[in-house]
A and B are shown apart, each in its own frame.
Chain A
Amino acid sequence: MFLTFVTFLPLLGAFALAFIPKENEGTIKQAALGVALVDFVLSLGLWMGFDNSTHAMQFEFSTSWIGAWGVNYHVGIDGISLLLYVMTTFLTAFSILVSWNVKKHVKEYMMAMLALGTGMLGVFIALDLFLFYVFWEFQLVPMYIIIGVWGGPRRIYAAVKFFLYTAVGSLLMLVAIIWIYFVVEDATGVFTTDLIFITKHLDVDLGTQKWLWMAFFLAFAIKVPMFPFHTWLPDAHVEAPTAGSVILAGVLLKMGTYGFLRFNLPLFPHASYEFIPFIATLSVIGIVYGALVAMVQEDLKKLVAYSSVSHLGFVMLGIFALNEYGLQGALLQNLNHGISTGALFFLVGVIYDRRHTRLIKEFGGVTNYMPKFAICFMIVTLSSIGLPGMNGFIGEFLILLGMFQVNKMYAAGAALGVILAACYMLWMFQRVMFMQSNNPENEKLTDLDLREKILIAPMIVLIFWIGLYPKPFLKTFDASVSHLVTIVSPDNFRPGKIGGSHASTKIDKALKKIEKQTHKKSH
């Protein structure tokens, strides 16, 4: 129930805002920020109350929703979703403060932001396919509005593209969901869309698994976005307002990777196993391709956008290593990317607010005029290229470690991305921050103001925290990930076991393992 409250609080806030007259924008902003912050604090409470030792869902709440179809309102949170959830509340508050100076339609903007918050949070807690789909589609609308109304010159094109592109994938996923619904009904005689139940009882042959897997894959791969489904991202990022980009990079992309973890892997373990080469290839291409393309971008935001393609490639690679290093690395990298890239977009936004351009060639020698900004920018840049001691490194290393166990060549290919990251990031940094300012406009630049300092500080703290002491985060993932690993481990579907009731045995095995672990812990 508490979880539900935390999830829907922003939406309530949005409704509340509706009753504040649009003239007094100050009140609206403060109210919105207040709601978001409260929500963030509450979500921290969730983290405090979270029990690392079990993979089971926590703060679980389930009640019948559409009885006739066996659709439940079933929410819960586990190690995989918890931190994404917390990050979402955090970034919501963050981006509301980021967009403090939004000019037009402040009220609508804040309402959209809060509504978006609920949509995103819902995606991470839904444990019912139907419910998940509802949230998954619902959060499209506010984002579409945010891009389309407060975006840049080509905002409408970008917004519509974002909406339709995502919709294509998710609607095919809907077909798969209904299909699963009937498959499970045939197998068990129960009409339900409850994820936990389905995970236990879904038991289809490899061929079907592959089809269903593909349907889910499309939905999530577009969201991630994986090469070659990435082209909506640069447009969306470039046109979106700063806060939009932050959310987009910080949370929306994570929904894709989360989807893979929550659905593709547990529901279709065998198919996932079979598709490892496919995903790994795409990811490696994405990593290198994204990096190379990022290198030649002229627009800062585009550069960061393409770098996201590269980073998310890492995450996907980690997920489909299907071992604990890879998965934990991927989960951590999710957070890292959210923090680093979120901060990057914010910083780009900072100079954009001052100069109203993002073209790299317009800048140069900015350090002279914005030293504090320069330091923050440098730290964030380094974290995004995975400097050891900062957050990025740990994720990337774990991912490489995981993939290396599976296939050395993929790992090597991905590691190339580490070199290229240094190239495009540092080159960009040099051209923007260093050297002589060739443009008198830059001399008018003023350094970070208090609000901006307040915004960037937590990001930097997190960067070093995760970099130097990631244990709290990794521990959160631990149980759930090891459980997931047991599910997808290939010995669950050795030839001959397929078509048998391997699903249930799988679960039992997993349970035993977890029990053993908890036993150890207790001693």
Chain B
Amino acid sequence: MLQLAWLIPLIPILGSIVCGLYGLKLGKDKVAKIACGGPILSFLLTLIVLLGFLLLPEGVHVWEQVLFNWIPVADFVVQWGYQIDPLSLVMMLVVSGVGSVIHVYAVGYMYEEYSFYRFFCYFNLFLGAMLILVMGNNFLLMFIGWEGVGCCSYFLIGYYYDKKSACDAGTKAFVVNRVGDFAFILGVLFIFNQFGSIDYTTVFSAAPTTLVYGSETATLICIFLFIGATGKSAQIPLYTWLPDAMEGPTPVSALIHAATMVTAGVYMVARCNVLFALSPLSMNIVAFVGGGTAVFAATIGMAQNDIKRVLAYSTVSQIGYMFLACGVGAYTAAIFHLITHAFFKACLFLGSGSVIHGMHHEQDMRKYGGLKDHFPITHITFLVSTLAIAGIFPLSGFFSKDEILFHALMDGNIILWGMGATGAFLTAFYMFRLVFMTFYGEAKYDLSFHPHEPSKIMTTPLVILAGLAFFGGLLGIPIIHGWHVLHDWLEPVFHVDSQTIIDYSTQHMIAAGHHVPTFEALTHEPSHNVPLEISLMGVSLLIAIGGITAAYFFYIKFPKLPDTVMGGQWGLELVKNKYEVDEHIDEYIVQPTVEGSFYLWKGDAKVVDGAVNGAAAVINWFSKLARPYQSGFVRNYALFMVVGFLAILIMVY
């Protein structure tokens, strides 16, 4: 059964090729069938593979399928191989599962589009690339998926290619991602330099006995990889592309910019947990960047009026949570949140999508209001997901976020926890701000037209995702030991053999004469302090409710309040303008580069080429100079002979 693994990414890719080449001839319905058939098929295959994996003998946690040698150069041999292990299985399930649902939704959403087929060509291709990303058994294959999804996201953001803003957003996304990829490549190069291989199994098994704990190399590798992750997962400082990416059609935002692609960074960091375990410094960096982003993005999210932008910033901040979790070593929590987030954020996006769809592509929330009667299903599902993301018991978000906060406090420190908590509060606030502005209050759109719930094909996915968002939390119920299914499932992946690390590093440090640190990041046991845990849950619940009530007061009870209190405050302005980060990047990086290059070009013509043409000019000049001496008078010629004679005479004597 496992043997079928290679089909999983292939099917969507084939689907994409078919759509791309014959889409126009086939007609929309056929295209729709093919486009949705692919992902669903690969979802089923994933289930089969999962079954096969469960049937593997006890203690076998990794199963590799090597298709062929991709790049064989001397001792550098990269296989095209897939690795099936708990982590990749989880990702595959999420990607193909959520992916299929969103594909179905997209059929409804994009149906009016002329280049329907083009959309699904990209969409399927994306799914294939994403599956390669999570299934690859080495860094380079991951990189194929990594850039593949980036490329598809570029296509899909720029789907409406006649809109300049869309094209700019697409290009921006690609280039910003490239910055990350640059670091990623360097990371991979470092890894090969250290391990002489880039296969996960080799590298991770060799790592504890190759890299010294906290050594420069270890840190460099991790930092580079993490920078790569920030690019893909829109973390500080490379987050700016994600909000702009909302130019793409809503299903794209749901699948690529919320559920799957943007979490690739988290997956990668989780995948390399062994390496990160070797470098406490980089762990801290990950944690703080994550926490920082969580808060930072949330603050921006509070003041946005474009419904999708709010969701975009909330995505950024949620991924921040995941990194926070990774940073404190709570990889399970990170993946857990990744899953739940995939559910509710996808649902939210799709919901917003159906609203936008029903509101004739109006995205400004200030022009909504009181839509709950027009969009009953959307409203309910949206509400569920919102509660989930806000972290209300017993919805999925509650468990996952809460686990992260718990670990932030226990394995991290109070500051990280503070960040998390603030983020949670803000999240609850702006999400409900969104809900209230959209579905409640009095209608602010012109009443001439009647918003309408979209067709079944779009509402069904909403329901499914809402359901997942509701019950998804059951995957990992904390406190009660053994009920945390996900934890036990992922344990083999995230198990770090601390003892080997400590032994190797210790002797190595002694040999090198460094003082041996306390390996506290490795040694300390994740404590199970049940009362504390419960009390923390209470606290975070309170925080969430606090956020909601605040939102309630501002946007339902006293709708005037925001303007009267905050109107024109510099803080609000700053947040509204997203801290003017884009502007500054443009001013201090982009413009100077372009202008600089322009002068370089001029210099190229003037100086570098000038030297060449200059030589020619000099020769011409000389030849003009020499001309008059050929005067045509015999006496001159004779004179020159005599002069030459004297010159030679002098030379000889």
Residues of A within 8 A of B (CB): 161, 164-165, 227-228, 230-232, 289, 292-293, 295-297, 324-325, 328-329, 365, 367-368, 375, 382, 387-389, 393-394, 397-398, 400-401, 404-405, 408, 411-412, 415-416, 418-419, 422-423, 426-427, 430, 433-436, 468-471, 474-475, 478, 482
Residues of chain A contacted by B178 (CB below 8 angstroms): 418-419, 422-423
Q: Is the CB of B158 within 8 A of A434?
A: yes
Residues of chain B contacted by A375 (CB below 8 angstroms): 20
Q: Is the CB of A387 within 8 A of B185?
A: no
From B69, B161, B174, B185, give the contact of A433 (CB < 8 A).
Answer: B161
From B68, B182, B616, give the contact of A469 (CB < 8 A).
Answer: B68
Chain B residue nearest in CB terms to A368: B162
From A161, A295, A408, A482, give the contact of B597 (CB < 8 A).
Answer: A295
Q: Is the CB of A387 within 8 A of B151?
A: yes
From B144, B161, B168, B596, give the contact of A367 (CB < 8 A).
Answer: B161
Enumerate 9 A-B pairs (CB-CB under 8 Å) in ascending A order.
A293-B601, A296-B598, A365-B162, A375-B20, A389-B144, A398-B73, A404-B192, A422-B178, A426-B171
B608 within 8 A of A: yes
Q: Is the CB of A418 within 8 A of B151?
A: no
Q: Is the CB of A293 within 8 A of B604?
A: yes
Q: Is the CB of A388 within 8 A of B162?
A: no
B179 within 8 A of A: yes
B647 within 8 A of A: no
Q: Is the CB of B148 within 8 A of A426?
A: no
Query: In the complex, how many angstroms separate the beta carbon of A101 from the nearest chain B beta carbon?
Result: 28
From A292, A296, A393, A436, give the contact of B162 (CB < 8 A).
Answer: A436
| CA–CA, A206 and B464, complex, Å | 75
From B76, B186, B593, B604, give the contact of A231 (CB < 8 A).
Answer: B604
Residues of chain B contacted by A418 (CB below 8 angstroms): 178, 181-182, 185
Task: Say whether, besides A389-B148, A434-B161, A470 and B71 are in contact (CB < 8 Å).
Answer: yes
Residues of chain A contacted by B206 (CB below 8 angstroms): none
* CB 8 Å contact bits of B100-129 with A (1 = contact, 0 = none): 000000000000000000000000000000
Q: Is the CB of B162 within 8 A of A474?
A: no
B457 within 8 A of A: no
From B68, B151, B605, give the contact of A382 (CB < 8 A).
Answer: B151
- In this complex, the member of A289, A292, A394 whose beta carbon has the largest number of chain B beta carbons within 10 angstroms is A292
Task: Say whether, besides A382-B151, A470-B71, A474-B73, A419 and B597 are in contact (CB < 8 Å).
Answer: no
Residues of chain B contacted by A401 (CB below 8 angstroms): 76, 189, 192
B516 within 8 A of A: no
A interface SS class: helix
B638 within 8 A of A: no
Query: In the complex, how many angstroms separate the beta carbon of A106 from the nearest chain B beta carbon?
Result: 33
New contact pairs (18) apart from A419-B178, A468-B70, CB-CB < 8 Å: A296-B598, A296-B601, A325-B74, A325-B76, A387-B148, A388-B140, A388-B146, A388-B148, A389-B147, A408-B189, A415-B186, A422-B174, A422-B175, A426-B171, A433-B161, A434-B167, A436-B162, A471-B72
Residues of chain B contacted by A328 (CB below 8 angstroms): 73-74
Residues of chain B contacted by A400 (CB below 8 angstroms): 185, 189
| CA–CA, A365 and B171, complex, Å | 16
B51 within 8 A of A: no
- In this complex, the member of B20, B158, B162, B179 whose beta carbon has the largest number of chain A beta carbons within 10 angstroms is B162
B195 within 8 A of A: no
| CA–CA, A297 and B151, complex, Å | 24
Query: In the complex, how many angstroms separate the beta carbon of A444 from the nearest chain B beta carbon?
Result: 18
Residues of chain A contacted by B608 (CB below 8 angstroms): 227-228, 230-231
Q: Is the CB of B71 within 8 A of A435?
A: no
Chain A residue nearest in CB terms to B20: A375
B interface SS class: helix
Q: Is the CB of B167 within 8 A of A435?
A: yes
| CA–CA, A289 and B161, complex, Å | 30
Query: In the complex, how many angstroms separate the beta carbon of A438 from the nearest chain B beta carbon?
Result: 11
Residues of chain A contacted by B601 (CB below 8 angstroms): 293, 296-297
Q: Is the CB of A435 within 8 A of B162?
A: yes
From B74, B161, B189, B598, give the contact of A435 (CB < 8 A).
Answer: B161
Considering the complex of A and B, which 7 residue pairs feature the smallest CB-CB distances, nearest first?
A: A231-B609, A292-B597, A324-B74, A434-B161, A388-B144, A404-B189, A422-B178
Chain A residue nearest in CB terms to B73: A328
Query: In the complex, how many angstroms separate the beta carbon of A335 from the nearest chain B beta carbon?
Result: 14
* CB 8 Å contact bits of B163-182 with A (1 = contact, 0 = none): 11001101100110011011
From B73, B147, B163, B190, give the contact of A324 (CB < 8 A).
Answer: B73
Residues of chain B contacted by A365 (CB below 8 angstroms): 162
Task: Say whether, besides A231-B604, A292-B596, A433-B161, A427 and B171 are in contact (CB < 8 Å).
Answer: yes
Query: In the complex, how many angstroms separate the beta carbon of B214 from the nearest chain A beta carbon?
Result: 20
Residues of chain B contacted by A430 (CB below 8 angstroms): 158, 167-168, 170-171
Residues of chain A contacted by B605 (CB below 8 angstroms): 231
Query: In the complex, how many angstroms separate the beta carbon of A236 from the nearest chain B beta carbon?
Result: 12
From A324, A398, A426, A427, give the contact of B71 (CB < 8 A).
Answer: A398
Q: Is the CB of A296 within 8 A of B71?
A: no
B193 within 8 A of A: yes
Q: How many residues of B contact A (CB 8 A)?
A: 51
- In this complex, the member of A164, A324, A419 whose beta carbon has the largest number of chain B beta carbons within 10 angstroms is A419
Q: Is the CB of B71 within 8 A of A405?
A: no
Residues of chain A contacted by B148 (CB below 8 angstroms): 387-389
| CA–CA, A471 and B148, complex, Å | 21
Residues of chain A contacted by B186 (CB below 8 angstroms): 411-412, 415
| CA–CA, A230 and B604, complex, Å | 10
B600 within 8 A of A: yes
B56 within 8 A of A: no
- In this complex, the member of A227, A297, A422, A478 whose beta carbon has the largest number of chain B beta carbons within 10 angstroms is A422
Mark out the residues of chain B between 556 and 613 whose CB falls within 8 Å of any chain A CB in the assembled complex: 593-594, 596-598, 600-601, 604-605, 608-609, 612
Residues of chain A contacted by B182 (CB below 8 angstroms): 415-416, 418-419
B200 within 8 A of A: no
Q: Is the CB of A435 within 8 A of B164?
A: yes
Task: Say whether, besides A293-B601, A415-B186, A388 and B147 are in contact (CB < 8 Å).
Answer: yes
Chain B residue nearest in CB terms to A365: B162
| CA–CA, A237 and B212, complex, Å | 52
Q: Is the CB of A293 within 8 A of B175?
A: no
| CA–CA, A469 and B67, complex, Å | 11
Q: Is the CB of A474 within 8 A of B600?
A: no
B143 within 8 A of A: yes
Chain A residue nearest in CB terms to B604: A293
- In this complex, the member of A324, A404, A433 whose beta carbon has the largest number of chain B beta carbons within 10 angstroms is A404
| CA–CA, A367 and B114, complex, Å | 14
From B69, B161, B189, give the contact of A411 (CB < 8 A).
Answer: B189
Q: Is the CB of B161 within 8 A of A293?
A: no
Q: Is the CB of A387 within 8 A of B147?
A: yes
| CA–CA, A427 and B158, complex, Å | 13
Residues of chain B contacted by A393 (CB below 8 angstroms): 147
Chain A residue nearest in CB terms to B171: A426
Chain B residue nearest in CB terms to A328: B73
| CA–CA, A231 and B608, complex, Å | 7
From B72, B162, B192, give the contact of A434 (CB < 8 A).
Answer: B162
- In this complex, the member of B73, B179, B593 whose beta carbon has the largest number of chain A beta carbons within 10 angstroms is B73
Q: Is the CB of A419 within 8 A of B179?
A: yes
| CA–CA, A292 and B593, complex, Å | 8
Task: Say whether, besides A368-B162, A394-B71, A426-B175, A296 and B147 are in contact (CB < 8 Å).
Answer: no
Residues of chain A contacted by B76 (CB below 8 angstroms): 325, 398, 401
Residues of chain A contacted by B594 (CB below 8 angstroms): 295-296
| CA–CA, A293 and B70, complex, Å | 34
| CA–CA, A401 and B612, complex, Å | 35
* CB 8 Å contact bits of B126-140 with A (1 = contact, 0 = none): 000000000000001
Residues of chain B contacted by A471 (CB below 8 angstroms): 68-72
| CA–CA, A387 and B147, complex, Å | 7
| CA–CA, A4 and B609, complex, Å | 39
Q: Is the CB of A474 within 8 A of B164?
A: no
Residues of chain B contacted by A293 (CB below 8 angstroms): 597, 600-601, 604
Residues of chain A contacted by B170 (CB below 8 angstroms): 430
Q: Is the CB of B189 within 8 A of A474?
A: no
